[in-house]
Amino acid sequence: MLPGFPLPPNLRLRADLDFMNRVHNLVTGEVPLAIFLSTMIESTGDAAAIGVFETALAKVKALEQAPLVVTPEAIPGAAADDQVQPGGPYLTTANREVSWEAQISEFDETLAIRYLRMGTRAAGSVFKIVIHRHIHGEAEFITDDRPRLSNGTGWVIAPGLGITNHHVVNARSALFGEGDATVDDFRLQAETAKVRFDYFEVNDTADGVVLGPGALLASDAELDFALLQLPNTFGIRLPLRLRQQKIGKRLDQPLGTRVNVLQHPNGSPMRLGFRNNFVVLGDDNVLAYLTDTASGSSGSPVCDDAWSVAALHYGSRGVSDQNLKLMGRLVKQENVGTPIPQILKHLAANHARLHKQIVDGQAGLKP
Q: Are residues 154 and 241 in the same domain?
A: yes
Q: Are residues 15 and 127 in the same domain?
A: no
* Banded model confidence at residue 311, pLDDT cuts 50, 70, 90: very high
Does any domain span residue 3? no
136-181: per-residue pLDDT in tens? 999 999 998 899 999 999 999 999 999 999 999 999 987 778 899 9
Residues 266-276 have a mean pLDDT of 90
Q: Are residues 115 and 98 in the same domain?
A: no
* Banded model confidence at residue 133, pLDDT cuts 50, 70, 90: very high
Q: What is the pLDDT of residue 192?
A: 97
Strand pairing category for 287-289 and 209-210: unpaired
Q: Are residues 146 and 96 in the same domain?
A: no
Q: Are residues 217 and 353 in the same domain?
A: yes
Q: Are residues 36 and 150 in the same domain?
A: no
C-alpha to C-alpha distance for 147 and 164, rounded to whole angstroms: 21
* Banded model confidence at residue 94, pLDDT cuts 50, 70, 90: very low
The pTM assigned to this predicted structure is: 0.73
**Is 338 buried (19+), middle (13-18) or exposed (0-12) by CB count in 10 A?**
buried
Does any domain span residue 262? yes
C-alpha to C-alpha distance for 188 and 164, rounded to whole angstroms: 16
Q: Are residues 189 and 330 in the same domain?
A: yes
From residue 92, how far is each of 47, 55, 86, 204 by CA, in Å?
Answer: 43, 31, 14, 51
105-114: per-residue pLDDT in tens? 566 778 889 9
Q: Does 44 score more than 80 pLDDT? A: no
Q: Are residues 90 and 160 in the same domain?
A: no
Does any domain span residue 338? yes
Q: Are residues 190 and 285 in the same domain?
A: yes
Does any domain span residue 365? yes
Which residues are registered as beta bridge partners of 352? Answer: none
Q: Are residues 128 and 99 in the same domain?
A: no
Q: What is the pLDDT of residue 110?
A: 80
> Which of 69, 103, 137 is the last residue in one of the domains?
103
Residues 15-28 have a mean pLDDT of 64
Does any domain span residue 98? yes
Q: Does 195 score more than 80 pLDDT? A: yes
C-alpha to C-alpha distance for 10 and 341, rounded to whole angstroms: 37
Q: What is the pLDDT of residue 171?
A: 96
Q: What is the pLDDT of residue 69?
A: 44
Total count of domains within the chain: 2
Residue 357 CA, distance from chain mean position: 25
> Which of 103, 134, 151 is the last residue in one of the domains?
103
Q: Are residues 189 and 257 in the same domain?
A: yes
Annotate the chain with three-state secondary structure. Answer: CCCCCCCCHHHHHHHHHHHHHHCCEECCCCCHHHHHHHHHHHHCCCHHHHHHHHHHHHHHHHHHHCCCCECHHHCCCCCCCCCCCCCCCECCHHHCCCCCCEECCCCCCCCCCHHHHHHHHHHCCEEEEEEECEECCEECEEECCEECEEEEEEEEEECCEEEECHHHHHCCCHHHCCCCCCHHHHHHHHHCCEEEECCCCCCCCCCCEECCCCCEEEEECCCCEEEEECCHHHCCCCCCCECCCCCCECCCCCCCCECEEEECHHHCCCEEECCCCEEEEECCCCEEECCCCCCCCCCCEEECCCCCEEEEEEEEEECCCCCCEECCEECCEEEEEEEHHHHHHHHHHHCHHHHHHHHHHHHCCCC
Q: 316 lies in which domain range?
A: 111-367
Q: Are residues 200 and 88 in the same domain?
A: no
Q: What is the pLDDT of residue 91?
A: 43
Does any domain span residue 2? no
> Which of 46, 78, 103 is the last residue in one of the domains?
103
Q: What is the pLDDT of residue 6?
A: 57
Q: Angle 286-288-293 (CA atoms, 0-180°, nearest 5)?
A: 120
Residues 178-198 have a mean pLDDT of 96
Q: What is the pLDDT of residue 99?
A: 55
Does any domain span residue 82? yes
248-265: per-residue pLDDT in tens? 999 999 999 999 999 999
Higher pLDDT, 305 or 87: 305
Residues 320-335 have a mean pLDDT of 89
Average pLDDT value over all residues in the chain: 84
